[in-house]
Amino acid sequence: MTKKKQDIRALSKEALRDFFINHGHQAFRGNQVYEWLWQKSAHSFEDMTSLSKDTRAMLETHFVINHIKVDQMQRSNDGTIKNAIKLHDNLVVESVLIPTETRTTACVSSQVGCSLDCHFCATARLKRMRNLNPDEIYDQVVAIDQQSRLYHKRKLSNIVYMGMGEPLLNYKNVLASIEKITSKEGLGMSPKRITVSTVGIPKMIVKLADDGVKFNLAVSLHSAIDEVRSKLMPINEKSNLAELLASLQYWYEKTNKIITFEYVVWEGINDTKKDAVALVKFCKKVPSKVNLIEYNAIDDGEFQQANPEAIQMYVNTLEAHNIVVNVRRSRGKDIDAACGQLANKTA
């Protein structure tokens, strides 16, 4: 039986150096390979032209590079790009390039599918197949950076972990991917330009704070009333708003970073003054700002975008209490690339 080759990107630089020493080569060859893998994002050993053919053949004998493949790319009328990403085991996730006049943002996936069953989200209809490895997340960013340079003539400026999956349920790999993305030996991006979005898992938010992470945190809130939020997001039945708030207060105390609340207003669900007042009270308890997000239908009609008057009521109520609020108009709706629409649905 043929021994399965190891993905070389699972090795640290030190492990690569040791590999070369153990095979009669100088240790610095490990540094060269590490640079090819991460800074230069080599797709194959043949790409590593600073190595001899014999060295490349030796690497081919022992290892594989399980690089992602952009299987399908769709471009929206507004410049948004959605990628169907094929993984080495033929599973598919999606990532999105979101352009504005001043920046381009990569929205990346962290899991194949999702296990949290948020009722308004298309991704929740896909059962969770597996976590993504750090290199698979990293590759999404590299691909979108290349698309940003090609189609928008500028390098990628921001990254949001808001694609398929719950990042904090793939904690180790998500943090490892960010370490690579921010490393000078990787993409060298500032952690201040990275936001991890979660449904709000209190014990994992506490762990983030204890681990001293430097990136930003966003929480999908959608209601500050337990009864309403539980109907939208089953996770709230396990960890209610009081527990979530306590973890966010701890986060702020440890990191001094304000939290962004992602909040969709739906007609007949959370579009009343009572809902807006509850949100104000919640925001007052921890330094935060609010992104009101335009809802994107997922075909069943159960959830409908609230009318503009309700959105404006939220804006007025929040601003009257000096809470920063932004209304986010969704991008890429015509290619099912907007928030909540990622479900491996192709044209």
From the list 219, 228, 179, the residue with the least C-alpha distance to 197 is 219
Q: Mean pLDDT for the chain?
A: 90
Confidence of residue 343 (pLDDT cuts 50, 70, 90): very low
pTM: 0.90
Q: Is the pLDDT of residue 118 over 90?
A: no
Question: CATH 1.10.150.530 spans which residues of the chain?
Answer: 6-64
Listed in sequence order, the residues at least 6 apart from 10 whose beta carbon sits closer than 8 Å to its beta carbon are 133, 135
Query: In this predicted model, what pLDDT tens digit does every residue of 74-113 receive, in sequence order?
Result: 998 888 999 999 999 999 999 999 999 899 999 999 999 7
What pLDDT, on the 0 to 100 scale, is given for residue 221? Answer: 96
What pLDDT, on the 0 to 100 scale, is given for residue 302? Answer: 75
Residues with catalytic function = 94, 339
Select the CATH number that applies to the domain covering 69-335 from these four: 2.40.10.120, 3.20.20.70, 3.40.50.300, 3.90.870.10: 3.20.20.70
Rounded to the nearest 10 degrees, the angle between the axes of helix 171-182 and helix 134-152 is 50
What pLDDT, on the 0 to 100 scale, is given for residue 332? Answer: 54
- For the chain, percent helix, then strand, then coil, each to nearest 5? 40, 20, 40
Task: Give the strand order in the sheet containing 92-99.
Answer: 69-75, 81-86, 92-99, 104-107, 158-161, 194-198, 216-220, 259-264, 288-293, 325-328
Listed in sequence order, the residues at least 6 apart from 190 whose beta carbon sits closer than 8 Å to its beta carbon are 182
Query: In this predicted model, what pLDDT tens digit does every residue of 242-264 receive, in sequence order?
Result: 999 999 999 999 999 999 999 99
* Cα-based angle 62, 63, 67 (whole degrees, multiple of 5): 165
Select the CATH number that applies to the domain covering 6-64 from these four: 3.30.70.2190, 1.20.1250.20, 1.10.150.530, 3.20.20.140: 1.10.150.530
Query: In this predicted model, what pLDDT tens digit does every residue of 155-170 receive, in sequence order?
Result: 999 999 999 999 999 9
Burial class of residue 39 in the structure, from the number of CB atoms within 10 Å of its CB (0-12 exposed, 13-18 middle, 19+ buried): middle
